[in-house]
């Protein structure tokens, strides 16, 4: 694991990206911010009234005394195009996630990491309203980087889209491939199911097969196949029997799950039984990176996700 983060650090060393940590009163956030500040590779920006962090050299912004608040209010109102009044914007900017998201949107920071003390909705809602999804992207999705020694996989969607349809799965596949590339993984994408290449036929398997065709339309050069059972996607000897003509079977490293329940269960099995470390979820498809922690996270989780968020901001 350390080797993976070290590689991410090396890509960031000459860029000096800044990452907003809105939950400045949380001890885990404070511990991670101090560590990041001491390393000096990325710059943490902590939101809140936390003079003890300022005393250690960490940049702290208090929304109540921020000198450029009017600029954030103006940007917020303009971005919402009539959906938010100036008074509403001022009130929402008292919420640390809205404040932090506006710092990213206005170019005062490169990304945001939140969720230690807030729900996923509290983190994602400001991002969807202000940063928004990239042109052509209908929904954001959540991927985990799964790391064990030198092995790295991407699992998606494990966090956001409960019941993806074929178009959703295709979008998740393309965005997950981009995530893989940004972390040094040459993507080979498997669209997972309980069937391999028509071994079973049902609305569930047909949904995945249809997603494959949509992916090929979106990105004709991407190495992708489906529908594939997990063993056929990963194990060469099984792939040779179940999908002998596949360009992905037996060597996949990006796994797109057919539903949120499958993805969420799958990454936790890999983590708890397989000994993989799950870093994320990384939110995919946004114009600028905003990432969500678990409320059960550790300071180490905050530290690592900050680096991954900074790496995302380079792409």
Which domains does the chain show, CATH number per domain? 1-132+286-315 (3.40.50.10950), 136-285 (3.40.50.10750)
Q: What is the pLDDT of residues 93-121, one digit of tens each?
A: 999 999 999 999 999 999 999 998 898 88
pLDDT confidence bin for 294, thresholds 50/70/90:
confident
Q: Which long-range contacts (CB under 8 A, 24 or more apart) does 267-276 make?
A: 267/144, 267/146, 267/155, 267/158, 270/146, 270/153, 270/155, 271/146, 274/148, 275/148, 276/146, 276/147, 276/148, 276/151, 276/153
* Alpha helices for the chain (secondary structure H): 2-12, 27-39, 51-54, 69-80, 86-92, 96-105, 120-126, 166-182, 203-218, 230-234, 236-242, 260-272, 299-312
Query: What does DSSP assign to residue 129?
Result: I
Query: Does residue 291 have a pLDDT over 80?
Result: yes
Percent residues over pLDDT 70 in the chain: 99
Q: What is the pLDDT of residues 69-91, one digit of tens each?
A: 999 999 999 999 889 899 999 99
Average pLDDT score over residue span 208-227: 94
The end-to-end CA distance of the chain, in Å, is 22
Q: What is the pLDDT of residues 9-61, one digit of tens each?
A: 998 999 989 999 999 999 999 999 999 999 999 999 999 999 999 999 999 99
Averaged confidence pLDDT in the chain: 93
Percent residues over pLDDT 90 in the chain: 82
CA distance 125 to 112: 13
CB 164 within 8 A of CB 228: no
pLDDT confidence bin for 2, thresholds 50/70/90:
low
pLDDT of residue 286: 94
pLDDT of residue 295: 85
Residue 61, H or E segment = strand 59-61
Burial class (CB in 10 A: 0-12, 13-18, 19+), 101: buried
CA distance 113 to 142: 14
Average pLDDT score over residue span 227-250: 95
pLDDT of residue 182: 86
pLDDT of residue 280: 82
pLDDT of residue 183: 87
CB 126 within 8 A of CB 98: yes
CA distance 290 to 126: 10
SS3 134: coil
pLDDT of residue 198: 84
Reported pTM: 0.88
pLDDT of residue 1: 47
Q: Does 184 or 252 have the greater pLDDT score?
A: 252
Query: Does residue 260 have a pLDDT over 70?
Result: yes
Query: Does residue 240 have a pLDDT over 80?
Result: yes
CA distance 247 to 314: 30
DSSP bridge pairs for 111? 19
Q: Which CA distances in Å does 229 have to 190, 200, 201?
A: 9, 11, 13
């Amino acid at each position: 694991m350390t080797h993976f983060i070290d590689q991410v650090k090396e890509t960031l060393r000459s860029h000096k990206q800044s990452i907003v940590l809105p939950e400045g009163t949380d001890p885990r956030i404070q511990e991670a911010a101090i560590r990041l500040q001491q390393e000096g590779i990325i710059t943490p920006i902590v939101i809140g009234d936390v003079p003890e962090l300022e005393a250690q050299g960490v940049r702290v912004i208090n929304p109540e005394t921020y000198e450029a608040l009017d600029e954030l209010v103006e940007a917020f109102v303009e971005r919402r195009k009539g959906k938010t009044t100036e008074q509403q914007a001022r009130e929402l900017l008292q919420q640390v996630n809205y404040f932090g998201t506006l710092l990213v949107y206005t170019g005062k920071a490169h990304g945001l990491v939140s969720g230690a003390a807030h729900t996923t909705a509290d983190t994602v809602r400001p991002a969807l309203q202000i940063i928004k999804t990239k042109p052509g992207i209908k929904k954001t999705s959540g991927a985990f980087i799964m790391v064990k020694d030198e092995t790295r996989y991407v699992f998606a969607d494990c966090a956001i889209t409960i019941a993806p349809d074929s178009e959703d799965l295709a979008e998740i596949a393309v965005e997950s491939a981009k995530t893989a590339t940004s972390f040094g993984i040459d993507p080979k994408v498997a669209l997972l199911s309980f069937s391999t290449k028509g071994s079973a036929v049902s609305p569930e398997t047909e949904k995945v097969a249809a997603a494959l065709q949509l992916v090929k339309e979106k990105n004709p050069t991407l190495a992708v196949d489906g529908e594939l059972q997990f063993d056929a996607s990963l194990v060469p000897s099984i792939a040779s029997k179940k999908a002998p003509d596949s360009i992905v079977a037996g060597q996949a490293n990006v796994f797109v799950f057919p539903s949120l329940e499958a993805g969420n269960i799958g990454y936790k099995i890999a983590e708890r039984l397989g000994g993989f470390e799950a870093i994320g979820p990384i939110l995919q498809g946004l114009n600028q990176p905003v990432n969500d922690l678990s409320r059960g996270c550790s300071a180490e989780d905050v530290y690592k996700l900050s680096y991954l968020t900074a790496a995302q901001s380079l792409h």
